[in-house]
Amino acid sequence: MKRYILKKSTRADKRFAIDMGVMQHHFGSDVGKTYIDHQDDKKKKAWIARHKNDKNFNDMHSGIYHSRYLLWTKPTLTEAIKDYEKKHKVTLINQTGIK
């Protein structure tokens, strides 16, 4: 089973990075709040509606994809990680310090 690592981003304008071995994707605004922060379903629906037509919304090798599945699907990062692992058949190691 593949192992990915979720960690804090080293980029000034991004919140997280996912290391997929040969690729690394930085995602999530460092200033905005996401569903894992506020658990507001109305804001979640608005975010999805605003971004669903983004070029790489369904591309696993894009930042918006990881924002969608790790920051905007479940009320906690832990729940989102479990869902992500099941969907992608990987182990995702959380090194962010956020649960």
pLDDT band at 82 (very low <50, low <70, confident <90, very high): very high
Query: Is the predicted pLDDT of residue 14 greater than 90, yes or no?
Result: yes
pTM greater than 0.85 (yes/no)? yes
Query: Is the predicted pLDDT of residue 91 greater than 90, yes or no?
Result: yes
If you ran DSSP here, which 8-state letter would residue 11 be given? S
Q: Is 37 left (phi over 0), alpha (psi -120 to 50) or beta?
A: alpha
pLDDT band at 99 (very low <50, low <70, confident <90, very high): confident
For the stretch 17-72, pLDDT in tens is 999 999 999 999 999 999 999 999 999 999 999 999 999 999 999 999 999 999 99
d(CA 14, CA 55): 19
Query: Is the predicted pLDDT of residue 13 greater than 90, yes or no?
Result: yes
Q: At what angle do helices 77-88 and 63-71 cross, to 10 degrees?
A: 120
d(CA 6, CA 96): 7
